[in-house]
Structure 1
Amino acid sequence: MSKGKLAAQRLMNDCGIDDPTEIPLDLIVFGRGATLVEKSLKNSEGRIVFGKNSAIITINSDIPYEGKKRFVTAHELGHFEMHRNVITVHNDTDATLEFFKNGHQETEANEFASELLMPEHLFKKECAGKKFSPDLLRQLSDRFKTSITSVAYKYFELGSHPICLFYSHNNKVLYWKRPDNYPHFINDRTKLTPPDDSVATEFFEKRKIYSKEQSKQPIWKSTWFELKNWENDNNYKFFEYCIITPIYNTVLSIVWEEL
């Protein structure tokens, strides 16, 4: 088990928390000995400043989504729980909050926030018997009061249907993930533009954002994956759902196959 997940579970055990959505997050922060402040920040989504015996956590009041504010708060709490003897002042941007982020402290803080907001046993229970879809991710986001992006990564880890993730910024694919033993080979487009026929490219080139009802878009297997010379695109049913954040010019493409 990862250090971040273990720290979150230890906190919930210490505080007697079974479902974190039933307790205001600011009370959890206060109960652990930190002060939570919300105000406008420039070039930062969250900040933690350590004192001798406590810390001040500041969340950017300009974040437009409450679910993301909760995730940033939980991320900073993760730094408080795990890194108080390592850092004195730390600022988090949209880049450091990204789940693909390398670097053990940011990874640990993201894993902590994910487990605190979406405990594994509850997340699996909410997913049980439900077909994967963009609507399911939105339902999980509402259920756990966190960002749909964090839900997508949690589903990648724990969900029953395999999904692939492609993170693009400024029309460049920065990172991608596929499940272990996934049967389809991904064409590596790291540092390249997304595929011409992808939903991601529709946003970057045309600023196209689909409505909730149309957010599940059919694509070819060959859009993101290698098509063998004996394979036929018509024999596969692939879809792409994009979580788009225009203010950061980022797209998280969620791609999956329906059999």
Structure 2
Amino acid sequence: MAVVRKKVSSVRTSAMSAQREVDLRQRLSDAGLLRVPVNVVAIAEFLGLEVVEEPMADDLSGYLEVRSGSWVVGVNSLHHRNRKRFTIAHEIAHFVLHSGQKKSFHDQTFARRNDDPNPMEREADRFAAELLMPEADVRQMISSGNTTLSGLAAEFGVSALAMKYRVQNLGYRVNQ
């Protein structure tokens, strides 16, 4: 599938959340952790999170919770590698954006909750997409001629569906 440029507006979170994200992105960049494909486990550890893989029900992707005073990211070991990467990035988002509001997050399979009215989940999905598929890198790869969803997805270590949503959110049109 080719990706073609089109204009689309973007939705942002609050100014305080946006500033936290900018600060985090700078810290991660300074630590050399934003090279594509982004190593989400290294980022989680950089933030002091423990990542554990364990079998879960198929409709559960992962969780973030406090155990013995430390934050733990749990990820469904039965899911595909790309799904696990998105789950970890999503749980990192909950930690960065929402850990002051709750001490536990349990997330259902993301593709099955597209209409979820919960703003925390939408924010975490947006954050995860931006972390795994940084805008500048996506735009650079597309301008360099990598214009297929499968090609882009392979470069970023995400699913073609996640890449489709990301390029659409960046203002590109996906030809069928």
Does residue 11 of the first structure (1) align with residue 21 of the second (2)? no
What do residues 105-132 of structure 1 show as CA deviations (whole Å, max 9, x unaligned)? 0011001101100111111111126485
Query: Under a length normalisation based on structure 2, what TM-score does the superposition of the two structures give?
Result: 0.78
What do residues 60-97 of structure 1 show as CA deviations (whole Å, max 9, x unaligned)? 0000x211110011001100111111112111111477
Q: In the alignment, residue 138 of structure 1 is paired with which amino acid?
A: S
- Equivalent residues in 2 for 1:177-216, closer than 5 Å: none
* Structure 1 or 2: more helix by fraction: 2
- Equivalent residues in 2 for 1:41-60, closer than 5 Å: 41-42=56-57, 43-50=59-66, 54-60=70-76
Q: Which residue of the partner structure matches residue 160 of structure 2?
A: 148
Q: Which residue of the partner structure matches residue 170 of structure 2?
A: 158
Q: Which residue of the partner structure matches residue 97 of structure 2?
A: 82
> How far apart in 2 are the matches of 1:146 and 1:6?
26
What do residues 123-182 of structure 1 show as CA deviations (whole Å, max 9, x unaligned)? 1111126485xxx1011111111122110101111244x24xxxxxxxxxxxxxxxxxxx
Q: In the alignment, residue 158 of structure 1 is paired with which amino acid?
A: L
Contact 1:124 1:159 in 2 (8 A): no
Q: Which runs of 5+ in 2 are unaligned?
A: 1-10
> How far apart in 2 are the matches of 1:150 and 1:7?
24
Residue number among 76, 80, 83 corresponding to 1:68 in the alignment: 83
Deviation at 1:6, TM superposition (A): 5.8
Q: Which residue of the partner structure matches residue 54 of structure 2?
A: 39
Taking every aligned residue pair, what percent have the same amino acid on both sides?
Answer: 23
Q: Which runs of 5+ in 1 are unaligned?
A: 164-238, 241-259
Contact 1:8 1:116 in 2 (8 A): no
Q: Look at both structures and tell me which one has the larger radius of gyration over its CA atoms.
A: 1
> How far apart in 1 are the matches of 2:20 and 2:56?
28
> How far apart in 2 are the matches of 1:6 and 1:141?
28
RMSD: 2.6
**Corresponding residue SS for 2:78:** coil
Q: In the alignment, residue 123 of structure 1 is paired with which amino acid?
A: V
Q: Which residue of the partner structure matches residue 43 of structure 2?
A: 28
Distance 1:36 1:83, change over 3 A: same
Distance 1:108 1:78, change over 3 A: same
Q: In the alignment, residue 80 of structure 1 is paired with which amino acid?
A: F
Q: Which residue of the partner structure matches residue 121 of structure 2?
A: 106
Deviation at 1:99, TM superposition (A): 4.9
> How far apart in 1 are the matches of 2:168 and 2:78?
29
How many equivalent residue pairs?
160
Deviation at 1:21, TM superposition (A): 2.8
Deviation at 1:19, TM superposition (A): 3.4
> How far apart in 2 are the matches of 1:6 and 1:155?
23
> Which is bigger in relative contact order (C-alpha 8 A, separation at least 6)?
2
